[in-house]
Amino acid sequence: MLKQSTVQLMALGLVGSFAATAAAQDSGALIDALVRKGVLKDQEAEQIRSQLSRDYAANTPAGKLNISSSVKELKLSGDVRLRYQYDDAHDAGTLFNGTGSTNNGANQRSRYRLRLRVNADYKLADDFFAGFGLQTTQNNDSGNQTMGGGTAGDYNQNYGIFISKAFLGWTPISGVTLIGGKQANPFYTTDMLWDADISPTGFTQRFDLHKIFGFSGLELSLVGGEFVLSDNTESGAPNATLGHKTVTDAFAYQVQLIAASEIVEGVKLTVAPGIYTTNTAALAATTSDGGGEFNSSKWSTKLDQLQGLKLALLPGDVSFKVAGKPVKFLWDLAWNADGKARAALYDKDMSGKTATVAAASTVTVVHSERDDWAYLAGFQFGENKKKGDLSFMANYRVVGLASVDPNINDSDWALSYTNMQGPKVGFLYSLGDATTVGATYYSAQSLRKDLGAGHVSAGPGSQRDNVQVLQVDMSVKF
């Protein structure tokens, strides 16, 4: 029979061999098993772990990075993108600009832009996780830094880096995920409602019911979010305009049920009904819109931005493969139950002013049912995972005057304006496994021509007759 010391030496050799091929930190399970079987004592196991850790740190590049013992896994990622963008926003006839003067014609821009994003995601002990992201520019709906877009005369200036994500999460049981902080959008959505670049700030809860209750054949998840839009002083004086006894913080809320199932072999259906609303509190006077395409200074008060938003949502898609390539037909639908009140903000903002169109007639916003609706239909073909991959996408959308929140919708299509309709088309080609080039074209025309150009202040709506945007991109992921 082998002596105990000989067995221990054999165990050390076995563990060492395993560590050499699979990495030292992965040998813990094997060491624990040898302790349970009595081959190793606790003290001997700790000595082996220490020796393996020293060997790993000395002989592997990854071992040079000293990570806290509470971190079970660290993922670093990011991308750099170069973009050329041209946009042309034509006014509808004579534009009232709030000072009594007029502005005819087009507003054209041609810009060269860059974006840097760096992300770190941590898996921590005890089922916690955390992460952060950094990016160029403070804009909430775009990480693009316009080249030469700094202070006039400050050529070749340096650019700032801002926190785009910072969150902490916990998975107390399988299927339940709780997150707080500035985080990736947790909802199933299209950019008709949420700009893909926006990371909302607040709290989210996700319940994967199929995991919690252990049923199969249907993926069913309930997702809720409470997002802080503006931190106000609760001790403020009563405000009759707001309808509150005191000024409260401004919040947005969304809840969504996501259901996905294979309806026939190889064909998956996803539907995600939900509700989006706000508490209509005023935004703080110092609050910025984040620098997106829509300029919040067009509103008469910060309060107007959040009034009249009670949206019922129904996005979804059908996905399958053709010749081994993924194909997805997708749609989105939004109806604002409080659209009439929101449309009235346009008249409210023009109080005491004269808004005229080319025919020199006074404009009054008369609510129409189509103001309350927004819908999108489109497709995606292909994906970009390796060199030579090619993908296409196209969709068409109609966005009513009072249908969605212009502070969070796509800042590229129609430059975030509502009361618009038109397509978005694009392609992406992989020059390498991590390098892509592509182009996207957006075209939008005004939906209700009867509104003319007068109502420019209560939100991004009727003053644009058409908006054209072209973007050409080159990106590298790391």
Q: Judge whether 331 lies within some domain.
A: yes
Q: 213, 166, 211, 316: which is closest to 256 by C-alpha?
A: 316
Residues 21, 154, single domain; the answer is no
Token couple for 357:
């169109």
Stated pTM of the model: 0.78
Residues 378, 444, single domain; the answer is yes
Q: Where are the beta strands (DSSP E) in 293-419?
A: 310-313, 316-322, 325-336, 373-381, 390-399
pLDDT at 63: 56
Q: Judge whether 436 lies within some domain.
A: yes
Residue with tokens 């008369």: 366
- What sign does the CA torsion over 410, 374, 418, 463 have? positive
Distances (CA, A) of 452 to 88, 104, 464: 18, 13, 9
Residues 40, 138, single domain; the answer is no
Helix 42-59 to helix 4-22 angle (10° resolution) is: 30
Type of residue numbered 308: G
- What sign does the CA torsion over 56, 62, 67, 70 have? negative
Distances (CA, A) of 265 to 260, 262, 269, 295, 302: 14, 7, 11, 48, 51
pLDDT at 5: 52
Q: Judge whether 443 lies within some domain.
A: yes
pLDDT at 298: 41
Type of residue numbered 114: L
Residues 151, 15, single domain; the answer is no
φ and ψ at residue 13, rounded to 5 degrees:
-65, -40
Greatest alpha-carbon pair distance for the chain in Å reads 106
Cα separation, 472 vs 427, in Å, equals 10
Domain end residue (candidates: 21, 37, 62)? 62
pLDDT at 150: 67
Spans in the chain with pLDDT lower than 50: 1-2, 7, 17-25, 94-105, 242-245, 285-303, 348-362, 454-460
Distances (CA, A) of 458 to 93, 128, 299, 397: 19, 43, 4, 22
Residues 37, 130, single domain; the answer is no
The count of domains in the chain is 2
Residues 55, 145, single domain; the answer is no
Q: Which domain holds residue 49?
A: 4-62
Alpha-carbon radius of gyration of the chain: 27
Cα separation, 407 vs 416, in Å, equals 8
Cα angle for residues 264, 266, 268 (degrees, 5° grid): 70
Q: What DSSP designation does 147 have?
A: T
Residues 329, 464, single domain; the answer is yes
Residues 313, 289, single domain; the answer is yes
